[in-house]
Each structure stands twice: as C-alpha cells, then as structure tokens.
Chains A and B, each alone.
Chain A
Amino acid sequence: MRYRAFLLVVISAALLGASTSSPQVAVVVLANWLRSALPLVPLALAAGLIISCGKIDIASGAAFSFVGMIIVAWTKQFGSGTSTIVGLLIAWAAVILFYLIMYILVVIGRIPALLCTLGLALCGEGISLLLQAFINSGSSENGLAGMTVRTSDLSFFSWKYAISLVVIVLLILWRYRSDAGLDHIAVGIDQTASEISGVKIKMVFLRSFMFSGILVGLSAVLFLVNVQVGGWATNMGWGKELLAIAAAVIGGCKINGGRFDPLSVAFATVLVFGISDITNALDIPLEWDYLILGAGVVAVGLVDGLRIRGIQA
C-alpha cells in the first residue's frame, strides 16, 4: 500500500512537472488542482469504505446532490445565517438516514448492492429534482441561478485542507490501529471466515454505511462552499460516484473487497479529479479526459490482477 501511495505521488508530480513551464506556474496549477479535488476526497473515501467491505455504492453521487439541494432549499425558504446551519444539520441527517436505509436493504434485506444502490441513486436524483421544483415554485426566477449559500454562513467548511487532512488521518488511524479497521478488512476478504472468527459482520457493515453517509455529507458541504461562483446545480453530483469508485480502485481498493488505504485513495482522488486540469495544461483536448481515465482504471485492474496471480503462483 505504501508503494502505491508513493507511486501515485510520483505520477502526480511527473504530470504536474510536464504540464507547467516554471515552478511559479506549477504552484498555481497545484493550488487549482487541490481546490477542485480536495472537497471530493471524502466522497472517494466513502466509496472506498463500501468497496473494501465487499459491497458497492453507486448512489453516492445522488446523495451528494441532494445534500446541497436541501441546504440551498432550506436557506431559500428560511433565510441565511442560523437557518443555513439548521439546513446543514438536516441535510446531514438526511444523508445518514439515506445510508441507513441502504444498509437495511443491502445487508438485512439481502438485495444485491448494485441493484439496490441503483434504485436509491434514482430516488436520490428524484429528491434533488423535487427540491429544485420546490425552489423554483417559490420564485419568479427559473433555472439554476442563485442556488447557493453565503460562504460566511458555513465559514468553518472553507478550511478544506485542514478538514480533508483530519479526515484522512482519522481514517488511517481507524484502519491500521483499531480492531474495527481490521474487522472491516476481514469482512471484505472473506465473510464466512469472518463469521467463524466471531467478527460481528452486521456491525461492520452498519459502521461502513454510516461512515460513508457522514463522508458523503461532508464532501457535499465542502463542495458547496467551494462552488460559490457557479452556484449549486441539481445534477452537481450525478456521475461523480463513478469517478469516486475509479479513485478508490486506483487508490488500491480491490473491487471485491479486502483492501483499503485512505492515504492512497486520497492521492488517487486528487489525480482523478485533477485530470481535466492536467490535460488542459498539457493542451490535450477535453474529449480525451475520460478515455485517459478509463484506460488508467483498466491498467490498474490489469496490474493488480497480474500481481495477485503472481502471488498465488
């Protein structure tokens, strides 16, 4: 895992070096890169958490969207200031409830995770659209203009560097220093063996889904504070769940569970979500972004597969 984190830092540094002509420009590009990618680190960590315990979540993008929509709608209805903070708490509670429902359906109801989260993703998108309709019904303006909150109301969340760092450090401590982190990985590796070992499997899943809900909420709030100029759009998170899964896989999470390194996932997130900045600086047309990213994910899958087969041999 440490090698992967090191490799990701080297690749990122190489791309940064190739895309800039001077150190001053490199600093500006890196700052832009981090500004756009850091709020999404918790989203990728949430995806990594679910993947590493052997499930998959494709509803995180929809949840991400409706968190912002709830805060914006609440602020629009009740005004700025304290109301925004109340809206934030309600949105966070809503996303945690969303993930609790996901846990009940996937773990207790035994619905396949992909199918269940697909349905919940559509529900989440529906909630965002309903909230947009609600916002639009109260004003003469149409469209997405003005759907934002004052930065001063959520000024705490403008410390995105510190918050992201704290989240990563806490997750590293949890993963490598606690029994709960070990249980989490064990359930991802082999659920039956975990049961025989006396691991409380349902508790592991509950913890994973709850942590994911908290992280998705945090990611949306950091992003909301970040996107003041453009405002919040209904579809702000749609599709981001796939990039988050890609970041988690590039960051070392095995897609069928059993591996999770928060630091590598964080580096991979910066790389994945900063890809457009890199291709822009390298004068590569925007259309190539997804192709490069897709090829990268396939390459990582291939290398991991070969490595595992090598170990088994």
Chain B
Amino acid sequence: MYLYSMFYGCLIGRFWNRAIDAFAAANPLLLRWLGTPVESRARNLPRITYFGLLDPDEDYPVFQHSRPEDQMAPDFVEIRNLAFSYPEQFEGIPPWKLVIKHLAIPSSTICRVIGGNMVGKTTLLRVLAGMESVSYSTETQITGSLIQSNGNRGKSIYTLRPRNTFFLSHSDRMFPELTIWENVRLARNCGMLSKKDAYQRFRQYLSGLQILRDKSERTCLGSLSSGGQALIRLARAYAWGAQLVLIDEVTAHLDDDSATAFFGNLGLLLKDGCSVVLVSHDRRDHDLAENVANEGNRSIAIAIERKENTSCVIEPSSS
C-alpha cells in the first residue's frame, strides 16, 4: 500500500512539475510568481520560491573579516548565500532583493551597519530577528551557536529566529498601558533565563539607572520619557540575558545624556559576551558604540550597498 502511494505520488508530482514548467515558460509573470522552476532546473539548481534567488551569473561582493583568523571570536550567527525579497510586489516596480553572500556575527562584538536610506538595513535586522520569512536553497548555510537547528527541516521558506536574540526597534512602541516589568516579562520567549533570575537582573538594572531609580516596577511604560522607554527596551535584553541584540534606530531621537546612558548599559551586556548589531544614521551613536568597543570589546562595520534593485552586504572593517 505504501509503495503504491509512493508510486502514484511520484507520478502525480512529475505531471504537476511538467504542467508548472509549461505554464511558467509561456508566461514570464507567472514564472516569477512560481519561482523560476524552469531556469533553476535547467541549471541543475534547487527550486527557489518567489522570495529571492542568488543569481549564479552575478558576482556578488563577499563579506570578509579583515582581522587575523586567530583573533576571531566564535560566530553567533553565520549566513552564507541567502537572498531575500518581500513577497508583496507592485505592478511596474521591479522587485528589490537583499543578498547576503557571507555574513558572520562574532561574540562580544559591536557590528555597526552602515548604509544610506532604502538600502535594506532594517530589513537585514528583521531577517536576523526572524521577523521575515526567508527562502532557503541548498547553497544557503545558516550556522552559529545561536541558531537552533542547522537544518530547515525540508522547508523552502522558514524564519530565522536565533536563540537569546532581542530586536530593539524605533517602530516598536511596546505596551504603554502595561507596567515596565510586564513589558520586560513579555519578552521572555526571546531569552533563556528563568523568570526569577530575570527579575533579579531587572531590579539590578533599574537600581543602576539614574533616570529610573525612583520609579517602581509597577510604573506604566507610557508615563516614561522617550529616553526612559529606550532604556526599558534595553532592560528586556539585559534582564533575560541576551546574547545578540539588534538595535534599529532606537537611540536616534534621544538627547546626549540619554544616549550615553543607553550605550553605557549596552556595555554591560557586551561584557557578558553579548553581541550587538547597530543601525543608526546618527554619527554620535556610532561614536558612542566605538567608545563602548574600546573598553575591551571588538567593533566591526558592515556596509550595505545598493545597485539598482539589489542590495549587498559588503566590505566589513574592524577596529
């Protein structure tokens, strides 16, 4: 019975693939929607979904650490040959693609992402945070100590959600109606510590902050200033023992004192072996990040460059 099912399954699958190929060859738009099965099979490549495909003819710039190999820290996340584009496509606008030929995030490192508007910095962070579904080909390799399983369990589309990773975004309002401890508690699924340990770390973190020292844990988040809210965003990562923190423009609208306090506390996390990926257009934030890195941590710059409709992660430099 099982063999019969397999036989008929293969037969139906074969006919289905042929039908798809025939339709796709006849209609380029459908071809793009279906994910170029004809082209990919012709080149003996795996079929990639509509999310994105590394073009084998294209010579993409490659990410390389410029530090010597013996100084390299173990990588938390390492990505090879990953392409991403948003599934929503608009008529008349060619689809944009973010290509990561090779990207590695070592431990205890500040990775400063550099690039202008519209190059895909936030998208890179969203991909790293597991907020976007990515396509996975046989060439794609996602490894590292924070990656929960190296395999994609047979799926062509899946989300990357590294362990102990916190995404701090300027677009995240969090929950102004809830208390600051409730806001921190909600992020428990991102961390690995027990609730008791997290609570102790949270109390310790609060007591070390001048701006929040007189606030109780039952204070509503909405009653805090933007600086206070940014520090509570970081409190989530600190309390739950983050190993990777992705920061997207969180400090851009803070005054100098608040930004200094934010990066000072970020330094505490880095001392624990945490890594940070920082996106900011503010030169001050990059300087503050460099200052934190000079206190015994590493710093690398990751540039993202856009050419027409493809953005590439390129040319890192270390300091």
Determine if A193 and B172 form an interchain contact, defined as CB atoms under 8 angstroms apart: yes
A182: chain B residues at CB < 8 Å are 178, 182, 185-186
Scan residues 183-224 of chain B and give those whose CB is less than 8 A from a CB of chain A.
Answer: 185-190, 222
Determine if B187 and A185 form an interchain contact, defined as CB atoms under 8 angstroms apart: no
B131 at interface by CB-CB < 8 Å: yes
B139 at interface by CB-CB < 8 Å: no
A198: chain B residues at CB < 8 Å are 186-190
Most central of B171, B185, B186 by chain A CB within 10 Å? B186
Determine if A197 and B187 form an interchain contact, defined as CB atoms under 8 angstroms apart: yes
Determine if B177 and A258 form an interchain contact, defined as CB atoms under 8 angstroms apart: yes
Interface size class on chain A is: 10 to 19
B169 at interface by CB-CB < 8 Å: yes
B25 at interface by CB-CB < 8 Å: no
A153: chain B residues at CB < 8 Å are none
Q: How many Å lie between the Cα of A189 and that of B221 in the bound state?
A: 13
A197: chain B residues at CB < 8 Å are 174, 186-187, 189-190, 236
Q: How many Å lie between the Cα of A189 and that of B222 in the bound state?
A: 13
Q: How many Å lie between the Cα of A95 and that of B86 in the bound state?
A: 38
Q: Assuming the A-B contacts A179-B185, A196-B131, A196-B172, are A185 and B190 also in contact, with contact meaning beta carbons closer than 8 angstroms in the complex? A: no
Q: How many Å lie between the Cα of A199 and that of B222 in the bound state?
A: 20
Determine if A189 and B178 form an interchain contact, defined as CB atoms under 8 angstroms apart: yes
B186: chain A residues at CB < 8 Å are 182-183, 186, 194, 197-199
A205 to chain B, nearest CB (A): 16
Partner of B189, one of A185, A193, A200, A258: A200
B173 at interface by CB-CB < 8 Å: yes
B193 to chain A, nearest CB (A): 13
B182: chain A residues at CB < 8 Å are 182
B185: chain A residues at CB < 8 Å are 179, 182
Determine if A195 and B190 form an interchain contact, defined as CB atoms under 8 angstroms apart: no
A304 to chain B, nearest CB (A): 13
Determine if B187 and A190 form an interchain contact, defined as CB atoms under 8 angstroms apart: no
Scan residues 54-73 of chain A and give those whose CB is less than 8 A from a CB of chain B.
Answer: none
B76 at interface by CB-CB < 8 Å: no
Scan residues 156-190 of chain B and give those whose CB is less than 8 A from a CB of chain A.
Answer: 167, 169, 171-175, 177-178, 182, 185-190
B171: chain A residues at CB < 8 Å are 192
A258: chain B residues at CB < 8 Å are 177
Q: Assuming the A-B contacts A179-B185, A182-B185, are A193 and B174 also in contact, with contact meaning beta carbons closer than 8 angstroms in the complex? A: yes
Determine if B189 and A196 form an interchain contact, defined as CB atoms under 8 angstroms apart: no
Interface string of A209-234 (1 = CB under 8 A from B): 00000000000000000000000000
Determine if B178 and A186 form an interchain contact, defined as CB atoms under 8 angstroms apart: yes
Q: How many Å lie between the Cα of A186 and that of B175 in the bound state?
A: 7
The residues of B with any CB-CB pair to A shorter than 8 Å are 129, 131, 167, 169, 171-175, 177-178, 182, 185-190, 222, 236
Q: 8 smallest A-B Cβ distances: which pairs?
A: A198-B189, A198-B190, A197-B186, A197-B187, A196-B172, A189-B175, A186-B186, A193-B172
The residues of A with any CB-CB pair to B shorter than 8 Å are 179, 182-183, 185-186, 189-190, 192-200, 258, 311
Interface pairs (30), CB distance under 8 Å: A179-B185, A179-B188, A182-B178, A182-B186, A183-B186, A186-B175, A186-B178, A186-B186, A189-B177, A192-B171, A193-B172, A193-B174, A193-B175, A194-B186, A196-B129, A196-B131, A196-B167, A196-B169, A196-B172, A197-B174, A197-B186, A197-B187, A197-B236, A198-B186, A198-B187, A198-B188, A199-B186, A200-B189, A258-B177, A311-B222
